[in-house]
A and B are shown apart, each in its own frame.
Chain A
Amino acid sequence: MSLNILEAESNYEDVTYIGYSFRVRKYVYPYFLQKDYDLLSLFGNDAIREKFSSYCLLPDVVYISGFGHGYDNLFTGQHGEVLWKVGSYDPREAQGKIIHLMSCLTARRLGPDLVDKGARAYFGYEEEFTFMHTLGITDPLEDPTADVFFECNSQVDRLIADGLPAGRVYDATKELFREKYEDFLARDSDVAMTLLHDHDCFRMYGDQEASLPTDVTKELKLNTSVSGNLSKTGDSRDFVLKGVKQGEKLTFTLNGPGDSDFDLYVRINQEPELRKFDYRGYTESSNEEITIEPTEEGDYYVRVHSYHGMGPFTIKASVPMAPEGEEIELEKLIIGTLGSKDDSKKYVVKGVDGGEELFVTLDGPEGADFDIYVKSGSPATLDDYDVRGYTGLPDENVVIYPTIEGDYYITVHSYRGSGEYKLRASL
């Protein structure tokens, strides 16, 4: 089963820029990435009604977390575009979901309306969510004054993702606000006053017992690391690698905390159990590797189990790949040549960190039309890419944000013309 979290984050002026920074770079998005849910991200210019409504209607969306301006009857996304308005959204967008809107005033009418239309629970604010920040700081994450407000609010997302029921999430979030404003009373009473205000207007409606299932099976992609977390001894997380071909060499690699003992179980076409498996990695550490050669055709189910201890882990399924391009270093300028129309060159940037902003820029020859295709985890082709720069010009710029930890493949392709180009990938 694959369950989805939908995260919509607007970012178009000072206030949303600060909130976006804390939520996407620190408290919410990175936390969701560690969890066993699929993430549907509508960040910045993607946080628009058309995409939001279609994502809400996707099957298996269980939690919606949104940040944007709001009023008593509506919630907005990028540039104030209305994402939900009382009386003008499809009730199926809310049905069966837990919803958190970090958005002013929505607890007055929109929140209760979402619950009336079938949302399991709603979290939001009855008055304006207000925070303090320090003037003149360029990177919001360096401002401890602003940090505390987003730490408190993000508690909702983090505890929901942990599987806690809505009532407990509400109580714990209120408690965190209370702890923080009492703490700030001694240091900065204006911050304390503002935290008290947010604490007092924070609301939850719906089923106190509403929670997300934690027994989800997350799909692995070849050669791409996936993060997870085991919260106690005996805890486990399930994954599946679909469509493995016959006769390959397949390796599962698990890396966990140094002070724990995590094990790895693999079973073909069925979920493994601790006593029913086809392969297992069972050392006394939490780093395990299983190599299967030759593979049988089928879906490979994988369980990561804590024999002892807790903490984050990464798991990766890999098959040896033919060299798929010249390895290039971040920030280094690459000079290459395409000889004719439809000629292409392939590159790979290895070991890019997750959550970063990756820029790929191409400077091609005058009169030509060169394009770039970028993909994480596997080679980018003209038909299979994450992002492409595809104007009618020789120069292209693409931005990948946030990055997924792993390798990024870049293909430079001549749509028209030939000549020398300059390529650079940078963070």
Chain B
Amino acid sequence: MKIDKRELDKPIVKKTDGTFATLKEIMAGPVRVQAELGPEDHKDLAIARFEKMDSKKAFSVVGKGSFTRDQILVEIKRDTEVGKRFVKMQEKFIRYLLNRKEEIDVT
């Protein structure tokens, strides 16, 4: 499975020391990660990942409006309903990537 090179450099898990590990680090070797992430951890991860989003693009949520990168970060930090949706979206995608990390082709 080919993957967008930028995705490899996005944080994907929280290490036991509280810092983030990227997908590239996870694939390179053993990383000591926190066994379970709480809501604030997911929020931190989502913020760190959306910070790497292409600023020329925006997300549109039917019924809620359009959100640029900076607006998404505000929504997440303020714990709004739509901010929580964006966190959930990242959470699901992280789970998807981690479940399929063995199939990822980084060559």
Q: Verify if B38 is at the interface (C-beta below 8 Å from A).
A: no
Q: Are A14 and B93 interface neighbours, CB within 8 A?
A: no
Which chain A residue has the least Cβ–Cβ distance from B56? Answer: A135
Q: Are A193 and B89 interface neighbours, CB within 8 A?
A: yes
Bound complex: CA of A16 vs CA of B62, how far in Å? 8
Bound complex: CA of A354 vs CA of B4, how far in Å? 40
Q: Are A190 and B53 interface neighbours, CB within 8 A?
A: yes
Q: Are A15 and B6 interface neighbours, CB within 8 A?
A: no
Q: Are A190 and B60 interface neighbours, CB within 8 A?
A: no
| Cβ contacts under 8 Å, B93 to chain A | 189, 192-193, 196-197
A interface with B by C-beta (< 8 Å): 13-16, 18-19, 69-71, 102-105, 127-136, 145-146, 182, 184-190, 192-194, 196-197, 200
18 A–B contacts from the bound complex (CB under 8 Å): A19-B62, A69-B63, A70-B62, A127-B85, A129-B61, A130-B62, A135-B58, A182-B1, A185-B1, A185-B3, A185-B4, A185-B7, A187-B4, A189-B93, A190-B57, A192-B4, A193-B89, A197-B89
Q: Are A128 and B63 interface neighbours, CB within 8 A?
A: yes
| Cβ contacts under 8 Å, B68 to chain A | 135
A136's partner among B3, B56, B60, B61 (CB-CB below 8 A) is B56
Please provide the 10 A-B residue pairs with the shortest distance between their CB atoms, ordered closest to farther.
A186-B2, A189-B7, A193-B93, A69-B63, A189-B4, A104-B63, A129-B62, A15-B60, A128-B61, A197-B89
Q: Are A200 and B57 interface neighbours, CB within 8 A?
A: no
A189's partner among B3, B58, B65, B89 (CB-CB below 8 A) is B3
Bound complex: CA of A147 vs CA of B57, how far in Å? 13
| Cβ contacts under 8 Å, B59 to chain A | 130-132, 194
Bound complex: CA of A134 vs CA of B57, how far in Å? 4
Which chain B residue has the least Cβ–Cβ distance from A136? Answer: B56
Smallest CB separation, B67 vs chain A (Å): 10
* Band of interface residues on B: 20 to 34
A71's partner among B6, B63, B82 (CB-CB below 8 A) is B63
Given A128-B85, A196-B92, do A135 and B63 touch, yes or no (CB 8 Å)?
no
A105's partner among B4, B6, B63 (CB-CB below 8 A) is B63
| Cβ contacts under 8 Å, A15 to chain B | 60-63, 65-66
A132's partner among B2, B58, B64 (CB-CB below 8 A) is B58
Residues of chain B from 60 to 107 with CB closer than 8 A to chain A in the complex: 60-66, 68, 82, 85, 89-90, 92-93, 96
Q: Are B60 and A196 interface neighbours, CB within 8 A?
A: no
| Cβ contacts under 8 Å, A16 to chain B | 62
- B20-44 CB mask vs A (1 if < 8 Å, else 0) is 0000000000000000000000000
Q: Are A134 and B56 interface neighbours, CB within 8 A?
A: yes
Q: Are B89 and A194 interface neighbours, CB within 8 A?
A: yes
A128's partner among B6, B62, B66 (CB-CB below 8 A) is B62
| Cβ contacts under 8 Å, B6 to chain A | 189
- Other than the given A19-B62, A103-B62, 15 more pairs (CB < 8 A) read A14-B65, A18-B60, A69-B62, A104-B64, A131-B62, A135-B56, A135-B68, A145-B57, A186-B2, A188-B54, A189-B4, A189-B6, A192-B4, A193-B90, A197-B93
Which chain A residue has the least Cβ–Cβ distance from B82? Answer: A128
Q: Are B89 and A130 interface neighbours, CB within 8 A?
A: yes
Given A186-B4, A188-B4, A189-B3, do A14 and B66 touch, yes or no (CB 8 Å)?
yes
| Cβ contacts under 8 Å, B53 to chain A | 190
B57's partner among A19, A69, A132 (CB-CB below 8 A) is A132
Smallest CB separation, A351 vs chain B (Å): 37
| Cβ contacts under 8 Å, B56 to chain A | 134-136
Which chain A residue has the least Cβ–Cβ distance from B8? Answer: A189
Q: Are A131 and B57 interface neighbours, CB within 8 A?
A: no
| Cβ contacts under 8 Å, A190 to chain B | 53-54, 57
Q: Are B1 and A14 interface neighbours, CB within 8 A?
A: no
Q: Are A186 and B62 interface neighbours, CB within 8 A?
A: no
Which chain B residue has the least Cβ–Cβ distance from A188? Answer: B4
Smallest CB separation, B91 vs chain A (Å): 10
A186's partner among B3, B57, B61, B66 (CB-CB below 8 A) is B3
Smallest CB separation, B31 vs chain A (Å): 20
Bound complex: CA of A153 vs CA of B63, how far in Å? 16
Bound complex: CA of A43 vs CA of B19, how far in Å? 51
Bound complex: CA of A197 vs CA of B3, how far in Å? 18
Bound complex: CA of A184 vs CA of B4, how far in Å? 8
Which chain B residue has the least Cβ–Cβ distance from A80? Answer: B63
| Cβ contacts under 8 Å, A194 to chain B | 59, 89
Which chain B residue has the least Cβ–Cβ distance from A102? Answer: B62
Smallest CB separation, B30 vs chain A (Å): 24
